[in-house]
Structure 1
Amino acid sequence: MLPTLVHSDELPQPERRGVVPFGIDERTMSPVMLDLDSSDRHMLLLGDEQSGKSSLLAHIMTTLAGQYTSEEMVFAVYDPRRSLKGLVHEDQLGGYATSSSLAQRLTDAVTRELQSRVPDDPLTAAQTTGFDGPRVVLIVDDYDVLTAGGNAPLRGFSEYLAMGAEIGLHAFIARKARGASRSMFEPFTSSVRDAGGDTFLMDGDRSEGPLINNIRARRQPPGRGLFIRGAQAPSTVQTIFREGHHDAAS
C-alpha cells in the first residue's frame, strides 16, 4: 500500500525544531517523525546499492540545517563519494572528510570539543543543565568505505555517544547491509546501538544473516525499509526521496 516515492510536501511540517519528517508508516499510513530530543538521537542506516541511504541522510541534514543557526548546530560530514557536498552553508559545516585519514583528523578535532563539554566532577555533571556551544551532528555516508582495511576513524566517538543529550551529540551513519554482520560489534557501531540509536534496515540480502534484534535484511524498493526504534515493534516505512541523492552508486 505504500507509495514508491514520498516527497517532503506530502508530509506535515514539524511543530518544533529537532523534529524531522521521515516517511510514511505502512501499518497506519501516517507520517513518521524523527525526534532528536527524544528517542531518535542517533540512527544507523543499513542498505545496499541504490537503497536510498544517501537520499535519507541528505534529507535529515538539510532539514536540520534549516531549523538551526550555525551557533546552534554544526555538522561533521564523512562523505567518501562526495554525494553530500554543498548541502549546508559553510558556516554550519564543522568539517568535511572524504577519506579515512581525513576522517581521523576530523574525529580528533570534534572529540576535543566534546571532551571540553564533559565535567570533570560527576557530581557537578548531575547538577549541570545544557552545554556550551552548538549541537554536533555526525553525518556519515559509506561507513564501510571509511573502515576498509581495518581502519577505525570514528572509534574516538564511542565513549561520547551515550552522553549525547548532555554534550549535544547526534550521529546518523549509513553503510552497506552487505558485510554488516561482521562489523555490527566493532566499537563505534556497538556504541551507536548501546546508546539507544534507531536502525533503518533497507534493501539487502537475507543471506547476510541476522543484523539487528535477530532481523535479517530483505529486498526492498528504493527508500523503503524496516524502522527499528527502541522497544517498539518494527515498522515498514517509505522515506522521503530527495532528487539527486538516490544512491546511484551506493
Structure 2
Amino acid sequence: MLPTNLAPHAVGELYRGPDQLVIGQREEDLAPVILDLAANPLLMVFGDARSGKTTLLRHIIRTVREHSTADRVAFTVLDRRLHLVDEPLFPDNEYTANIDRIIPAMLGLANLIEARRPPAGMSAAELSRWTFAGHTHYLIIDDVDQVPDSPAMTGPYIGQRPWTPLIGLLAQAGDLGLRVIVTGRATGSAHLLMTSPLLRRFNDLQATTLMLAGNPADSGKIRGERFARLPAGRAILLTDSDSPTYVQLINPLVDAAAVSGETQQKGSQS
C-alpha cells in the first residue's frame, strides 16, 4: 500500500543521472518512479489546490540544484502566486511573479535555445555528431492557467503572446537542452488541453502527465483518464508508453520537518 506522506529518504538515491530524478513510488510494487527528462523533456501536472503540485516542483528544483552546478544547469521559474519564492536557484537565474516579465523572459529563453540549433548546410554525418554547447535549462511554470494567453495590449511587446516563442521549440526540446514543467488546476484542464496553444502542444507531444486530486464530476478526462479524489501527493501517472499507474509523490518537506522536530526536542532536553 502506498504511503500518504513519502519522505525523500524512503526511496533511496533521488538523482539517478543527468535529468533522471526519482519523484515517488508506484502502487503496483512500491518501486521508485523515475522522471526521465532526457527521454521526455515535457511534464504537465494538474490538480486541485493543496493536492501537491507546488510540492513536486520544490522537490524537482532542490534535487536538480543539489546535484548540479551553475555552469551545467539554469532555471527560469514563472510563479504567479509566489509559491516558490523561497526556493534558491543558481545566480543570475530568472525568477518572476510579474506578468509583465513573462513575455521578455520567454523571448530571451527562446533566443538562447534557438541558437543551439545546428547551422544550415551540415552533412548527415555532421548532424549525427552535432551537440549544443551550454547548460541544460529548466523552465518551470507554476499555475500556467493563471497566465493570460492573450496578446499584450500595451508596452514594447504589443501583439505578442507569452508562449508563442516557446511552442516551436518543444518538439526538439530534448535535443536542445530544454526541460519544461508546467502545473495547473484540475478543474478545466481537459478544456485547456484543447484551447491553450501551449498545453495543446504538450498533449500532442505526449508529455509525461501527472493527475493529482481533482473532482471527477467537473474536471473532464485527460487521455481517457478521469480525475479522482485522492490524498495529497497521490497521482495518476500517464506516460507515452506505460498504462496509467497510481503513484505517491515525494514530499521534500517531510525530512525538513523531522529535522526541525528533533532540534526542538534536543533543545527542550538541554
Q: Distance in 1 between matches of 2:57 and 2:121?
A: 35
SS in 2 for 1:81: coil
Output the amino acid matched with 1:131: F
TM score, norm. by length of structure 2: 0.83
1:11 alignment counterpart? 11
Output the aligned Cα RMSD.
Answer: 2.0
Larger Rg: 2
SS in 1 for 2:74: strand
- 1:17-56 counterparts in 2 under 5 A? 17-38=18-39, 40-56=40-56
1:170 alignment counterpart? 179
Quick one: structure 1 residues 96 and 167, their matched pair in 2 at CA, closer, same or farther if it must change by over 3 Å?
Answer: same
Instruction: Count how many residue pairs are aligned between Structure 1 and Structure 2.
Output: 242
Q: Could you tell me whether the CA contact under 8 Å between 1:208 and 1:216 is conserved in 2?
A: no
Q: Distance in 1 between matches of 2:121 and 2:112?
A: 18
Q: Distance in 1 between matches of 2:19 and 2:204?
A: 22
Output the amino acid matched with 1:103: I
2:128 alignment counterpart? 127
Unaligned runs of 5+ in 1: 245-250
The sequence identity of aligned pairs, in percent, is: 24
SS in 2 for 1:167: coil
Quick one: structure 1 residues 43 and 237, their matched pair in 2 at CA, closer, same or farther if it must change by over 3 Å?
Answer: same
2:97 alignment counterpart? 98
SS in 1 for 2:93: strand
Q: Distance in 2 between matches of 1:83 and 1:15?
A: 27
Q: CA deviation at 1:238?
A: 0.5
Q: Could you tell me whether the CA contact under 8 Å between 2:46 and 2:53 is conserved in 1?
A: yes
Greater RCO (Cα-Cα under 8 Å, separation 6 or more): 1
Q: CA deviation at 1:100?
A: 2.5
Quick one: structure 1 residues 150 and 231, their matched pair in 2 at CA, closer, same or farther if it must change by over 3 Å?
Answer: farther
Output the amino acid matched with 2:115: S
The 10-residue stretch of structure 1 (148-157 or 75-84) with the greater mean CA deviation from structure 2: 148-157
1:229 alignment counterpart? 239
1:155 alignment counterpart? 164
SS in 1 for 2:12: coil
Unaligned runs of 5+ in 2: 153-160, 255-270
Q: Could you tell me whether the CA contact under 8 Å between 2:149 and 2:163 is conserved in 1?
A: no
TM score, norm. by length of structure 1: 0.89
